[in-house]
Amino acid sequence: MTDAQPLVGVVMGSSSDWDTLSGAAEVLRDFEVPHEARVVSAHRTPQLMADYAAEAEQRGLRAIIAGAGGAAHLPGMLAAQTIVPVLGVPVQSKALNGLDSLLSIVQMPAGVPTATFAIGTAGARNAALFAVAMLAREEPRYAEALRAFRAQQAERVYGEELS
Ligand SMILES: Nc1c(C(=O)O)ncn1[C@@H]1O[C@H](COP(=O)(O)O)[C@@H](O)[C@H]1O
């Protein structure tokens, strides 16, 4: 759901990250959270990244989900330039399987935090669920939807049969 006033921004270093970050967009769509998805790179489009970070707060974004692979500087560099919470998703890189992405995102110096999620699609989906949990503090309908999601998830597990 791309909306005139998105609450969550999903950004990624390259369109090649979309396979992973689409997991976040899917969760946000399921929870009917207005969001946007864009390619923004600290390395390749530094000015675009600076503008995105500078405008994030006044545009009303409550969280930015930022995914990148390899030398994943995007989440940290966004966090350096906005107080909107940045939820970092390490994309699974070919060369090092995403360990490089994970360490690039998680090892921030004190003072400029980024939340860091699991490598790959699980991380992307969880970052979106975390954003919904943040929004649930301000809007009860997201809290209700999150409770329903958890209940359905548990139901599925209870209903599983091993053959
Ligand atoms: N880590 C970053 C940043 C950044 O951090 O700004 N910009 C692009 N990239 C990453 O480079 C990888 C390869 O990109 P290409 O597939 O376009 O060559 C992607 O996973 C992307 O996130």
- Supply the ipTM of this predicted assembly: 0.99
Q: Is the CB of 100 under 6 A from ligand 1?
A: no
Asked if residue 119 lies in contact with residue 92, where contact means CB atoms within 8 angstroms, the answer is: yes
Domain locations along the chain: 8-158
Mind listing the pLDDT tens digit for each residue in 15-57?
A: 999 999 999 999 999 999 999 999 999 999 999 999 999 999 9
**Average pLDDT of the chain, as a whole number:** 97
Using the predicted structure, report yes or no on whether residue 3 has a pLDDT greater than 60: no
Helices 18-30 + 121-136 axis angle, to 10: 30
Is 125 annotated in a binding site? The answer is no
Ligand 1 pocket residue status of 74, Cβ below 6 Å: yes
Report residue 95: phi and psi, to 5°.
-65, -45
DSSP 5-56: S-SEEEEESSGGGHHHHHHHHHHHHHTT--EEEEE--TTT-HHHHHHHHHHH
CA distance linking residue 67 with residue 119, whole number of Å = 10
Instruction: Report the C-alpha dihedral over residues 84, 127, 7, 22, rounded to 10 degrees.
Output: 130
- Give the model's pLDDT for residue 4: 58
Say if CB 11 and CB 42 are below 8 A apart. Answer: no
What pLDDT, on the 0 to 100 scale, is given for residue 163?
A: 84
* Cα(106) to centroid(ligand 1), Å: 16
**What is the whole-number distance in angstroms between the Cα of residue 12 and the centre of ligand 1?**
8
- The answer to whether the annotation marks 16 as part of a ligand binding site is no
Under 8 Å between Cβ of 91 and 124: no
Q: Which fold has domain 8-158?
A: Rossmann fold (3.40.50)
Q: How far is the CA of 128 from the centre of ligand 1 (A)?
A: 20
